Amino acid sequence: MTQVSAAAEVVTAHTDVHSEQGAHRGEHPGRAANPVIKAHGLAWLEFEKTDLDRTELFARDFGLAVHSRTADELWLRAAREGAPCVVVRRAPQSRFVGVAFEAAARDDLDRLARATGGSVEALAQEGGGHGVRLTDPTGIAVTVVHGAETASATPLQQPLTWNVAGARPRTNATQRPAREPARVERLGHVVLASRVFGRALDWYLENLGLIVSDFLFVDGQRDRGPTMAFIRCDRGSEPTDHHTLAMLLAPEAGYVHSAYEVADLDAMAAGGEYLRERGWQRSWGIGRHIQGSQVFDYWRDPDRFMVEHYADGDLFDSSLEPGWAPMSASGLAQWGPPATADFLGTRPSPSLVKAAVEALREDNEIDRARLMGLMKAMKS
């Protein structure tokens, strides 16, 4: 007998699929049966940069605020309450350092340390707290943190009131969104590339209890398993972002982009005009994605790290099963300009060729068929 006592149970647990296609029998279930912990969300991202002044200039134009700044360290924050979401340390070379996830409870850190052979450390940095330092199978530093100080909320940008079909709430008033930085409300997700995608995926599902919202596969190679996953936190009946982490199989491992939520489409578009007028480079946008449904606008920061403004993303509770779809460049958006070579990372470059040669030589999940399949997908 079905019991409908809570809103989440109205969606029959683990039987609903939100996309046109679900899993075939025996395919990856998209979640671990018994994960070590269930991470609550993203806490912050860590970078090293050569020039903190330039980093701060772009960050302010992008709509982040400065939480604190010294000669060697810059902490950036979003408008909603939370720990500062980006830390940048001065270094001789610019690079992505790693990602911090937030544990739901202090006990989770002990459990995670025991399961991974790590230890719980007091974090000797701005905001304090405790953390377990791990390295994922790709080689990316992952810190799971708890108890770091949060900054209280600052005023949010107000979404516009739209006159839409069937509802005309705005009369005797004009629509004049200011051409100003789109105020970032919070860090939403990070996208990482890996040569060992399958191993890395299972690592996040087993250790952090993340669950897959959508899988993508190389057309004609579905039997070899997925090559991209959009992964959310498991907060039970509490809806959470469609993806907090997205991961894909690719020869160049590491950071792909990070995404920051803004109030609405107008905030994003006006903020995009502001960035463009200030001379910053748009990578791809504005459009609406398919997996996650959010409206998006992608930019390059001064060190060519890709960052995304987004709004109106999907929220799923833990009951939804993964969707499955073939990977393609045209399948990345419902509307918007065609995906650019800059966004897709397909522009031929010495580093891309070097990465592909290395990836083929190394023992990993990339072989000739996979590489050709991925390249074909990015052209279709």
Does 308 engage in binding with Fe ion (CB under 5 A)?
A: yes
Tell me the residue nearest to Fe ion as measured from the CB.
259
Binding mask 159-178 for Fe ion (x = CB under 5 A): --------------------
Kindly tell me which of 221 and 294 has the beta carbon lying closer to Fe ion.
294
Q: How far is the CB of 191 from Fe ion (least distance, A)?
A: 6
Between 45 and 148, CB nearer to Fe ion: 45
The one segment of 131-139, 251-259, 260-268, 334-342 that binds Fe ion by CB under 5 A:
251-259
Per rule CB under 5 A, is residue 259 in the interface with Fe ion?
yes
Q: Does 297 bind Fe ion (CB under 5 A)?
A: no
- Of 47-55, 228-236, 305-313, 346-354, the segment contacting Fe ion by CB under 5 A is 305-313
SS (H, E, C) the chain: CCCCCCHHHHCCCCCEECCCCCCCCCCCCCCCCCCCCCCCEEEEEEEEECCHHHHHHHHHHHCCEEEEECCCEEEEECCCCECCCEEEEECCCCEEEEEEEECCCHHHHHHHHHHHCCCEEECCCCCCCEEEEEECCCCCEEEEEECCCCECCCCCCCCCCCCECCECCCCCCCCCCCCCCCCCCEEEEEEEEECCHHHHHHHHHHHHCCEEEEEEECCCCHHHCCCEEEEECCCCCCCEECCCEEEEECCCCEEEEEEEECCCHHHHHHHHHHHHHCCCEEEEEEEEECCCCCEEEEEECCCCCEEEEEECCCEECCCEECEEEECCCHHHEEECCCCCHHHHCCCCCHHHHHHHHHHHHCCCCCCHHHHHHHHHHCCC
Minimum CB separation of residue 188 from Fe ion in Å reads 8
Least spacing, CB of residue 257 vs Fe ion, in Å = 6
Which residue, 259 or 327, has its beta carbon nearer to Fe ion?
Answer: 259
Query: How many residues interact with Fe ion (rule CB under 5 A)?
Result: 2
Would you say 52 or 333 has its CB closer to Fe ion? 333
Cβ-based nearer residue to Fe ion, 244 or 364: 244
Cβ proximity to Fe ion: between 37 and 286 the closer is 286
What is the binding site for Fe ion (CB under 5 A)?
A: 259, 308
